[in-house]
Amino acid sequence: MPIADVERYVARRFAESERTRALALLDGPVIHDGTPASPRLVRSAAVASGGSLQWLSYYIEMLKQDWRDVIVAGEYAPGPKPHARIRDLSQPIGDDA
């Protein structure tokens, strides 16, 4: 089961009909070498999705290619490089995310 703050995030951001699937995707994703994704990576995928099941699936798959891109998508604001870091997802997701 995903960590508690991720579950709360899913409850806030995903449509009720999509929550079970979102939580299933966030339960045990892996990175390129088959090891489990860290809580920071799980949080990054969730936040980067913006509450879209389609985007969540994309970011969960991206973890298997290059997890650094998922961190950038979840923690940094888009714009010209260098991107500005706007959140630290090594910490639990706050209610404002």
Contacts of 6 (CB under 8 A, 6+ apart): 26, 39, 42, 43, 46, 93
Q: Is residue 80 part of a domain?
A: yes
**81 domain residue, yes or no:** yes
* Residue 97 located in a structural domain: no
Residue 93 within any structural domain of the chain: no
| Domain membership flag for residue 21 | yes
Q: What pTM was estimated for this model as a whole?
A: 0.91
Greatest C-alpha distance within the chain: 37
pLDDT at 47 over 70: yes
Residues 76-95: tens digit of each pLDDT: 988 777 778 999 999 999 87
**In which domain, by residue range, is 13 found?**
4-85
Q: Is residue 78 part of a domain?
A: yes
3-43 pLDDT per residue, tens: 899 999 999 999 999 999 999 999 999 999 999 999 999 99
pLDDT in tens, 61-76: 999 999 999 999 999 9
Q: How many domains does the chain have?
A: 1
Tokens linked to 33: 């070498």
Asked whether residue 90 is domain-assigned, the answer is: no
